[in-house]
Amino acid sequence: MSAPNIETIVSLSKRRGFVYPASEVYGGLGSSWDYGPLGVELANNIKKSWWSWLVYERDDIEGVDSSIIQNRLVWKYSGHEQTFHDPLVDCRTCKERFRLDKLQDVQCGNHPEVHPGDDKECSLTEAREFNLMFRTTMGAVSSDDDPSALAYLRPETAQGIFTNFANVLNTSRRKLPFGIAQIGKAFRNEVTPGNFIFRTREFEQMEVEYFVRPDEAAAAHQEWIDGFDAWINSIGISSSNLKHYEQTKEELAHYSERTVDILYRFFPEREDEDKQWDELMGIANRTDFDLRVHSKKPEDTEGKRINPDSTEDLSYFDPQTNERFYPYIIEPSIGVNRTLLAVMMDAYTEKTNEKGETRVILKLTPEMAPIKVAVLPLAKNNAEIVEMAKKLKHDLQPSMRAVYDDTGGIGKLYARQDEVGTPFCVTVDHDSLNDNAVTVRDRDTWEQDRVSMESLKEHLQKRLA
């Protein structure tokens, strides 16, 4: 089972402290969300898993953390100033604004039963291009539209990797093939954000730029697609809710030769099966576009430098073949926020207890679970039991995320931990004072085992591994 719709996750998130609406005390801010105590742990676990799989477990990836605000020329030569647009239309009747290419996904402002343009009263304007980059100004400027002070918040983390290609290559003494990984915030002034954290104007990306010889790019691309299928499964997302989508020639970004999207079933409630899926991530073969456009040497057909502003040449010299060339780049790019939503949706299950009550269980993998173990005293009025439980929590905490909770009866405490995905609850009871043992309850089976306190840490570590 997985969540029946995104709304179920919105409600669970607010109720249990995963995600809250941002600026809520002022009525919120369209499509902005804050991550609460459990949301930040889950997001950190996703990022840790990704980073450790790529940067630590492989031998060919280095990490970087580049600036959100870069020289404006980065965005000129990357093509974002010219091409990072969405086509917009306004409706003169309902006064709303829509993305021309998404009219079939939204509703008319006056007649929600139809799509904009489908009603004879709708009067749509001609489409115009709207650049999605957030603008800001750098330094103390006299006017807000001083062009010499114009800067952008990055719309993708990738460019900060391309501009550092030579730095990383030289300082880490790498040879092709190798990759650079980065996790960081990106900003897009989306025309139609929505569906909770699926599409927001501020989000976080995890991107790898993998540099290869041009003749090895196609095979490397396929390896990355297969590799990501496996990693996505490893964080608890089942293959039955995933599928691949090969972008058509018309859909490909200006830099891409081939892009395969991995889609997740974000909208299982939709009757039309085709509409249940949307992009979780994209894996692109960006060719040598990026390193060429940021380099000072390449020339156009008339012999003019394509980038007269660059001071570097980002080509690669292969000492084995004595060739100099611009490496091709394979780019797997995935959003932290969309991943978090998919992980929560896939882990969502319901189970009925012996009293006929329905309980929510978030079957997160132990690696993803925000809390690994909750230590609960059976009697919160018994000072000895409370002291023993608190000590146990502190003994476990250096090795695993542990919490202590005594704010309800044991049934309620178990239900609360099930709902946030805690794999194990440890209960300290009256017998514990004599036999130095505790009850370990399993989230998924609700089975209980008696375990000596001495071996508890090792017991839990084994089951969490």
Please tell me whether residue 54 adopts helix, strand or coil conformation. helix
The nearest distance, CB 99 to ligand GAP, in angstroms, is 12
Nearer Cβ to ligand GAP (41/331): 331
Residue choice 160, 179, 298, 335 for contact with ligand GAP (CB under 6 A): 335
Nearer Cβ to ligand GAP (199/363): 199
Residue choice 338, 372, 441, 459 for contact with ligand GAP (CB under 6 A): 338
The nearest distance, CB 46 to ligand GAP, in angstroms, is 12
Instruction: For residue 315, state whether it binds ligand GAP (rule: CB under 6 A).
Output: no
Nearer Cβ to ligand GAP (90/202): 202
The nearest distance, CB 239 to ligand GAP, in angstroms, is 18
Nearer Cβ to ligand GAP (249/462): 249
Site track 250-289 with ligand GAP (rule: CB under 6 A), x = hit: -----------------------------xxxx-------
Instruction: For residue 332, state whether it binds ligand GAP (rule: CB under 6 A).
Output: no
The nearest distance, CB 335 to ligand GAP, in angstroms, is 3
The nearest distance, CB 95 to ligand GAP, in angstroms, is 24
Rounded CA-CA distance 102/115 in Å is 10
DSSP codes joined into one string, 253-302 = -TT-SEEEEEEE---TT-SSGGGG-EEEEEEEE-TTHHHHHT-SS-B-TT
Residue 48 φ/ψ, nearest 5 degrees: -65, -40
Name, in order, each residue with C-beta under 8 angstroms of 454's C-beta and a sequence gap of 6 or more: 436
Instruction: For residue 75, state whether it binds ligand GAP (rule: CB under 6 A).
Output: no
Rounded CA-CA distance 299/297 in Å is 6
Nearer Cβ to ligand GAP (280/378): 280
The nearest distance, CB 110 to ligand GAP, in angstroms, is 27
Rounded CA-CA distance 187/69 in Å is 11
The nearest distance, CB 362 to ligand GAP, in angstroms, is 21
Nearer Cβ to ligand GAP (16/188): 188
Residues pairing with 209 in the sheet? 180
- Region class of 303: left (phi > 0), else alpha (psi between -120 and 50), else beta: left
Q: Are 270 and 276 in contact (CB under 8 A)?
A: yes
| C-alpha pair distances (Å), 410 with each of 380, 423, 429, 441 | 10, 16, 11, 11
Residue choice 131, 241, 287, 337 for contact with ligand GAP (CB under 6 A): 337
Site track 423-452 with ligand GAP (rule: CB under 6 A), x = hit: ------------------------------
Please, what's the b/e burial string for 256-276 (b: 16 or more CB within 10 A of its CB; e: otherwise)? bebbbbbbbbbbeeeeeeeeb
The nearest distance, CB 426 to ligand GAP, in angstroms, is 37
Nearer Cβ to ligand GAP (32/461): 32
User: Nearest residue by C-beta to ligand GAP?
Assistant: 335
Q: What is the dihedral of CA 137, 138, 142, 143, to 10 degrees?
A: -10
Report the candidate in 70, 58, 68 with the shortest Cα–Cα distance to residue 210.
Answer: 58
Q: Which of residues 151-170 bind ligand GAP (CB under 6 A)?
A: 156, 158
Please, what's the b/e burial string for 223-255 (b: 16 or more CB within 10 A of its CB; e: otherwise)? ebbebbeeebeebbbeeebbeeeebeeeeeeeb
Cβ atoms within 10 Å of 166's Cβ, excluding its own? 17
Q: Which residue has the tokens 């009067």?
A: 123
The nearest distance, CB 79 to ligand GAP, in angstroms, is 12
The nearest distance, CB 108 to ligand GAP, in angstroms, is 23
Q: Which of residues 183-212 bind ligand GAP (CB under 6 A)?
A: 188, 190, 199-200, 203, 205, 207
Q: Are 42 and 343 in contact (CB under 8 A)?
A: yes
Give, to the nearest 10 degrees, the angle between helix 37-51 and helix 217-234.
Answer: 140
Residue 61 φ/ψ, nearest 5 degrees: -130, 135
The nearest distance, CB 77 to ligand GAP, in angstroms, is 15
How many residues of this chain bind ligand GAP (CB under 6 A)?
19
Residue choice 66, 333, 417, 422 for contact with ligand GAP (CB under 6 A): 333
The nearest distance, CB 284 to ligand GAP, in angstroms, is 7
Nearer Cβ to ligand GAP (217/428): 217
Which residues lie near ligand GAP (CB under 6 A)? 156, 158, 188, 190, 199-200, 203, 205, 207, 279-282, 331, 333-335, 337-338
